[in-house]
Amino acid sequence: MATCALCRRRFPDEAIADPQAFQDHHLRPERRRTSETVRLCRPCHDQIHALFTNEQLREEYNSVAALRGADRLQGYLDWIRTTTKLSIDVTTSNRVREQR
């Protein structure tokens, strides 16, 4: 079973045919060697890198708790939790967020 650290969706291993469906996110992106990593589903990983610069990730969103509390992620998280998607078009999720 794989669980995304951000949206907390759970997927049985056999549902994850694509090895890229879950990815390690470095909480401090510029320090890949020593940075703590978390397992994220690809939609969450794509979304946080689309919304935040590495500098913002390092300075403001360097923990799962901070990411989960980010205002700009609330619409996305509400939406992704209603789906079982393991890949998204980030422009689609941006549109979904702006409509809220």
Can you give the binding site for Zn ion, defined by CB under 5 A?
4, 6-7, 25, 41, 44
Q: Which two tokens stand for residue 7?
A: 């949206």
Rounded least distance, CB 13 to Zn ion, Å: 16
Nearer to Zn ion, 41 or 88 (CB): 41
In the bound state with Zn ion, the residue whose beta carbon lies nearer, of 6 and 67, is: 6
> Residue 81's closest CA among 4, 7, 3?
7
Closest approach, Cβ 91 to Zn ion, in A, equals: 18
- Kindly give the interhelix angle for 42-51 and 90-98, rounded to the nearest 10 degrees: 70
Other Cβ atoms less than 10 A from the Cβ of 84: the count is 9
Tokens of 72: 């700009």
Query: Cβ of residue 40: shortest distance to Zn ion, in angstroms?
Result: 5
Q: Which is nearer to Zn ion, 41 or 67 (CB)?
A: 41
